[in-house]
Structure 1
Amino acid sequence: MLLYDYLASAFEAEGVDTLFGLMGDGNMFWMTAMAERPGVTVIHARHENAAVAMADGYARATGRVGVATVTCGPGLTQVLTSLTASVRHRTPMVILTGQTPVEAAFHLQELEQEPLVRAAGAEFIRVSTVNQALDAVARAFFTARTHRAPVVLSVPYDLQETDQPWTEVITTSAALVPEQAPLRPSPESAAEIAHLLGAATSPVIVAGAGAVRAGCRADILELAERAGARVATTLRAKDWFEGEPRDVGLAGAFASEAAREIFAGADLVLGVGARMGYYTTEGGYLFPAARVVQIDTDPAGYLDGQRVADSYTRADAAEAVAEILKLMPPRGAARDAPSGRPRPDRADDQPDGPAPGTHHPEAAVATIDRALPKDASITVGVGHFWNYVVPGMTGRGPASYHFTYDFGAIGQAVPTAIGVAVARRSAGIDTPCAVIEGDGSLLMNVQELETIARHDIPLLVIVMNDGAYGAEYHKLAARGISGEQAVFGRTDLARTARSFGLRAERCDSDEELRAAVAAFVAEPAPTLVDVPIDHRAVSVQYRRLHYGTGTVSFGGDE
């Protein structure tokens, strides 16, 4: 049997049932062997960077190791953006790439792969001899799982075609991964945090993705009740406490003005399973008077160029909160009567309404929020438009959202959402799956609309089409510079999508938008909804960060 067949068997033994890739000389035999395995689905992307983003989305939606494959040389160089984003997100992923033939004296696609991969922050495993190959697969999956990181596995394609006498795949990563009990805090750390909570007059508990994974929502709320604390979340834990009287919503750039006042007055901030990075703390300025304590399984110390906290406890979120609760007074001693989550800020920046034929983005998002069921999965791109989407989508828990901000790269949301939608379909989940993206971002990966249609992926692509790079337009305008160079006009994205085989509509009115979303919910099929929005509308966040004011009529002239 040829080595590429053994490699396919090794991936199958790791439990791989879904693969995203783009075929080339360096991986075509292995991809074909994988596709021939019963129960394995291969999604053929149209761009390598998109294939890696799809695997990233699949891993986010399932919690399993995502798998992608690209060929050598220019196949690998294309993936750097998605690879870096997955490193920042700490996505467990294995990417099999071909490498140019070992025996070749010259090859046009020769490239030193390891420095490229290491520059993105990913792990790299090179297979130099046939006898290393199967152990390398196990090592790659072991590293992805235990380090929560993407791993690039490089296999020269002349080695892949060598015949081998082996009879079976012996080693898998399951035999290598040790069982680990949840990490408990030291008694001293738990006692110190309990003392700090008891002494604080205005504490805030900020829960992150680690707390969500640990499933300690009820215990955090109980702890907040006993300590008289408000609760908030990072973006990756959005809406986890929604509906609770102590909830103040998001901490960070998307915090409401009322929440920001609460944070400014906090004397203690307890981050539970939260990395407490730059955007969660707004560079440390969001909690100016507070002592910050972090509970995390892997506290960073310094992150995003700043000190994360004043003190750290290395522990599982659920274990730590449970231990602290044992040391806190019972519920009968609960302090204060919270008033509930502050209302989100409104972008009252266009008293005369949006330009004819366009929506104000805040109104469009409100319509989308009402039209999409609360159990829908929503992937969100980045750009000026997402300042309306993040606070405007409500009533859903963290598992419903997938944000693609990790590297600050536009163009990532649609392929990430493809991975999410494929994961949900393979799991038999039939609730709606949508992605909200900008027009400039979509056009960077517009070829993947064909992937959606070809694989009949039930995904709703909602495009907030301002005919511009909205973020750059407003950043220029805020400095008194014309944003004309960032305005391109609105591409007819509905017609473009239909040419790729999608059902598509341009929605010029609120009723049309509501009807288009409802049609997808009633009959999920590859669909694009083009929503023209006024590029002059300025979000609350941009008014604060770039215009330096709470009010502004427009972000500049046409």
Structure 2
Amino acid sequence: MLFHEAVARAMTDHGITTVFGLMGDANLYLTDAFVRLHGGVFISTSNEAGAVLAAHGYAQATGRLGVATVTHGPALTNTVTALVEAARERTPLLLLAGDTAAADRDNFQNIAQRDVVIPTGAGFEQVRTPDTIGEDLATAVRRAVTELRPIVLNIPVDFQWQEIDYRPQAGPRWVAPAPLAPTGDALDEAAGIIASAKRPVILAGRGAQEPEAKEALIRLAQRVGAPLATTFRARDLFRGEPHDLGICGTLSHEIALETILAADCIVAFGASLNKWTTAQGSMLEGRAVVQVDSERAALGRFQAVEAAVHGDAGVVADALVTMLDEAEVKPTGFASPGLAERLTKRSDADFVDQSTEHSVDHRSAILRLEAAFPAEKTLVFDGGRFIMQCLHMFHVRHPKDYVHTINFGSIGLGMGHAIGAAQGSGKPTLLVTGDGGFMLGGLAEFNTAVRHGLDLVVVVFNDGAYGAEHIQMRRKQMDPVRTTFDWPEFAAVADSLGGKGYTARNLAELDVALEELPRRNRPVLIDVKLDPDRVAVPDFY
């Protein structure tokens, strides 16, 4: 078959059904063959960065390999920020990148593509010859899945129309990890620390969010009488449990903070214990810490711990319950009825609304959005100062329903992620972005969502400024005029791009827009006007 047909066949052989991308001369034909010959779904984006971000959002929302394709030269350089984001998230992602023919060294788009990719943290795999495409693509997929990062498969443009003898791979080149049981004395040390604790807290991280691990941690918490908490990336894992403290760290609410600071033992499962989870280590000071992780390199990476257990979260939690039962250790009672009652009474609405006739308090907007949007949703945030309230006031059914976009500290990445997440999850998807982020990375891709009929609602918290810079200028008593912008009316822009736009200058107008949401039949944008001097942020921001 022709080489470009073989690439499409190899993709299909690996179970790839959806590809995000932007076509050019070096990937045009393989993309066409993927759709025409194999019934693949191709989501065409407006920018190459959007393609990789969409593949990243798809991977986060589905747990499957995200796949994108771009042509060569400037197309690949446009993906650099997106590759960094995906690499830092540790997401399996395959990027099929065309490359200039080796003989065409004076081509305008020629660049050393490997040298572009490697600094991002992504891996690079070269298609060696047309006849090795089956093996080379299998290697790239295996690396993406096992190394947990993007792999760029570099495909020279001059291979496209060569005839080859395609040989499919006999089977997968990787094995899914099995639950890891702990060995050695570490488990005994952990059980001893927990048995002697009077006020333990169970902390779940991203590595403990699978259903089996969740249930095992709940059993352990009930066995020792411990409240439950999560890292931000495991947010809402225990939502609905009577002793759920929510997020541990810089985003903790007052009851959670008080309870964790009163604890004498923290038992962390699948949590890296980084500076945000531990508030620069202050939340662990004076407390015995047990850390459990299936990844050996995570143990003790950020914090010294009293016991480090290398094992699967669920397996270790159940083993600890058995050991505590055998030793007849009594529950502590730290997870008391009184604590449960206080948590039940606590509300995110405990603040003084600062909305006016011409601006909305974004905290009030969050509460209304949370009430109006289905609980079964996919949630995406762009970067910006508004995000600090979003991080703990919006909720999801499961941590995997939240798509993270701020590993690189960049604004403008939310829309691409939301497109991939909406396509992959099949759930209503809510993107919350700022005005600067929308203009930077969301404007063109909003039309991508329209063209592909995605169920996407975009809320723009619009303070007419670059918020982080605005607040810094204000705090130094400087004129923030250069941080402010006279943007177009986003509702009209959304309409012109084929969606439906609403403007909310006050809470009454926001309520009107939210009442219309159940009748939406296209992507929606709600432009929520904020006062740049009334955006509530934590003191450390």
TM-score range, shorter-chain basis? over 0.9
Q: Does 1:72 align with 2:66?
A: no
Q: Provide closer, same or farther for how the CA distance between residues 375 and 68 of structure 1 changes in structure 2, counting only shifts above 3 A.
A: same
Q: Does 1:30 align with 2:27?
A: no
Matches within 5 A, 1:346-495: 348=351, 353-394=354-395, 396-425=397-426, 431-445=427-441, 446-495=443-492
Task: Tell me how far 1:372 sits from its aligned partner.
Answer: 0.7
* 2:221 corresponds to which of 221, 224, 227: 224
Task: Tell me how far 1:331 sits from its aligned partner.
Answer: 9.0
Q: Provide closer, same or farther for how the CA distance between residues 191 and 481 of structure 1 changes in structure 2, counting only shifts above 3 A.
A: farther
**Over aligned residues, Cα RMSD in angstroms?**
2.2
Report the Cα distance in structure 2 between the residues aligned to 1:146 and 1:8, rounded to whole angstroms: 22
> What is residue 241 of structure 2 aligned with on the other side?
244
Matches within 5 A, 1:156-195: 156-164=156-164, 166=165, 168-171=166-169, 174-178=171-175, 180-186=177-183, 188-195=185-192
Task: Tell me how far 1:286 sits from its aligned partner.
Answer: 2.8
Task: Tell me how far 1:7 sits from its aligned partner.
Answer: 0.8
Task: Tell me how far 1:482 sits from its aligned partner.
Answer: 3.5
> What is residue 551 of structure 1 aligned with on the other side?
none
Q: Does 1:233 align with 2:234?
A: no
AA aligned opposite 1:75: A
The secondary structure found in structure 2 opposite 1:328 is: helix
Q: Provide closer, same or farther for how the CA distance between residues 537 and 290 of structure 1 changes in structure 2, counting only shifts above 3 A.
A: farther
CA contact (8 A) 1:349 1:537 kept: no
Report the Cα distance in structure 1 between the residues aligned to 2:349 and 2:486, rounded to whole angstroms: 27
Task: Tell me how far 1:85 sits from its aligned partner.
Answer: 0.7
The secondary structure found in structure 1 opposite 2:324 is: coil
CA contact (8 A) 1:214 1:317 kept: no
> What is residue 193 of structure 2 aligned with on the other side?
196
CA contact (8 A) 1:276 1:308 kept: no
Q: Does 1:208 align with 2:209?
A: no
Q: Provide closer, same or farther for how the CA distance between residues 285 and 472 of structure 1 changes in structure 2, counting only shifts above 3 A.
A: farther
AA aligned opposite 1:258: I
AA aligned opposite 1:142: R
The secondary structure found in structure 2 opposite 1:278 is: coil
> What is residue 122 of structure 1 aligned with on the other side?
122
Q: Provide closer, same or farther for how the CA distance between residues 518 and 91 of structure 1 changes in structure 2, counting only shifts above 3 A.
A: farther
Report the Cα distance in structure 2 between the residues aligned to 1:300 and 1:522, rounded to whole angstroms: 49
> What is residue 313 of structure 2 aligned with on the other side?
317
**Which deviates the most, 472-481 or 452-461?**
472-481
The secondary structure found in structure 2 opposite 1:279 is: coil
Report the Cα distance in structure 1 between the residues aligned to 2:300 and 2:515, rounded to whole angstroms: 43
**1:195-239 Cα distance to aligned partner (Å, 9 max, x none):** 111112222221112111253222212212222322111112111
* 2:256 corresponds to which of 238, 256, 259: 259
CA contact (8 A) 1:368 1:514 kept: no
> What is residue 328 of structure 1 aligned with on the other side?
324
CA contact (8 A) 1:5 1:33 kept: yes
Report the Cα distance in structure 1 between the residues aligned to 2:289 and 2:469, rounded to whole angstroms: 34
AA aligned opposite 2:237: W
**Which deviates the most, 385-394 or 10-19?**
385-394
AA aligned opposite 2:308: Y
AA aligned opposite 1:405: I
AA aligned opposite 2:475: A
Identity of aligned residues (%): 31
> What is residue 549 of structure 1 aligned with on the other side?
none
CA contact (8 A) 1:437 1:464 kept: yes
**1:326-345 Cα distance to aligned partner (Å, 9 max, x none):** 11146964523151338366
CA contact (8 A) 2:432 2:460 kept: yes
For this pair of structures, how many residues does the alignment match? 533
AA aligned opposite 1:256: H
> What is residue 151 of structure 1 aligned with on the other side?
151
CA contact (8 A) 2:348 2:393 kept: no
Report the Cα distance in structure 1 between the residues aligned to 2:330 and 2:292, rounded to whole angstroms: 26
> What is residue 283 of structure 2 aligned with on the other side?
286
CA contact (8 A) 1:474 1:538 kept: no
Report the Cα distance in structure 2 between the residues aligned to 1:181 and 1:410, rounded to whole angstroms: 37
Q: Provide closer, same or farther for how the CA distance between residues 8 and 400 of structure 1 changes in structure 2, counting only shifts above 3 A.
A: same
The secondary structure found in structure 2 opposite 1:481 is: coil
Report the Cα distance in structure 1 between the residues aligned to 2:436 and 2:503, rounded to whole angstroms: 16
Task: Tell me how far 1:507 sits from its aligned partner.
Answer: 1.9
- What TM-score comes out, normalization by structure 2 length? 0.93
Report the Cα distance in structure 2 between the residues aligned to 1:264 and 1:419, rounded to whole angstroms: 39
Q: Provide closer, same or farther for how the CA distance between residues 528 and 356 of structure 1 changes in structure 2, counting only shifts above 3 A.
A: same
**1:340-383 Cα distance to aligned partner (Å, 9 max, x none):** 33836668577xx3353110011111110111121122111221
AA aligned opposite 1:12: T
Report the Cα distance in structure 1 between the residues aligned to 2:211 and 2:180, rounded to whole angstroms: 11
CA contact (8 A) 2:189 2:307 kept: no
The secondary structure found in structure 1 opposite 2:132 is: helix
The secondary structure found in structure 2 opposite 1:182 is: coil
Report the Cα distance in structure 1 between the residues aligned to 2:413 and 2:298, rounded to whole angstroms: 29
Q: Provide closer, same or farther for how the CA distance between residues 479 and 221 of structure 1 changes in structure 2, counting only shifts above 3 A.
A: farther
Q: Provide closer, same or farther for how the CA distance between residues 395 and 98 of structure 1 changes in structure 2, counting only shifts above 3 A.
A: closer
Report the Cα distance in structure 2 between the residues aligned to 1:244 and 1:331, rounded to whole angstroms: 23
The secondary structure found in structure 2 opposite 1:275 is: coil
Q: Provide closer, same or farther for how the CA distance between residues 393 and 494 of structure 1 changes in structure 2, counting only shifts above 3 A.
A: same
Report the Cα distance in structure 2 between the residues aligned to 1:362 and 1:509, rounded to whole angstroms: 13
Task: Tell me how far 1:267 sits from its aligned partner.
Answer: 2.5
**1:140-187 Cα distance to aligned partner (Å, 9 max, x none):** 1111112221110001110222122x1x43216x43213542111125
AA aligned opposite 2:31: M
Task: Tell me how far 1:117 sits from its aligned partner.
Answer: 1.3
CA contact (8 A) 1:197 1:203 kept: yes
CA contact (8 A) 1:465 1:490 kept: no
* 2:509 corresponds to which of 508, 512, 522: 512
AA aligned opposite 1:421: A
Report the Cα distance in structure 1 between the residues aligned to 2:79 and 2:105, rounded to whole angstroms: 26
Structure 1 residue runs of 5 or longer lacking an equivalent are 426-430, 547-558
> What is residue 266 of structure 2 aligned with on the other side?
269
AA aligned opposite 1:128: R
Task: Tell me how far 1:322 sits from its aligned partner.
Answer: 1.2
CA contact (8 A) 2:362 2:535 kept: no
Q: Provide closer, same or farther for how the CA distance between residues 456 and 394 of structure 1 changes in structure 2, counting only shifts above 3 A.
A: closer
Report the Cα distance in structure 2 between the residues aligned to 1:355 and 1:61, rounded to whole angstroms: 37
The secondary structure found in structure 2 opposite 1:281 is: coil
AA aligned opposite 2:397: R
**1:380-412 Cα distance to aligned partner (Å, 9 max, x none):** 122111112122224633233222122111111
> What is residue 523 of structure 1 aligned with on the other side?
520
CA contact (8 A) 2:356 2:506 kept: no
**Which deviates the most, 496-505 or 240-249?**
240-249
AA aligned opposite 2:235: K
Report the Cα distance in structure 2 between the residues aligned to 1:26 and 1:395, rounded to whole angstroms: 40
**1:491-548 Cα distance to aligned partner (Å, 9 max, x none):** 31111111111111112232432342342333342111111122212435x22x14xx
AA aligned opposite 1:248: L
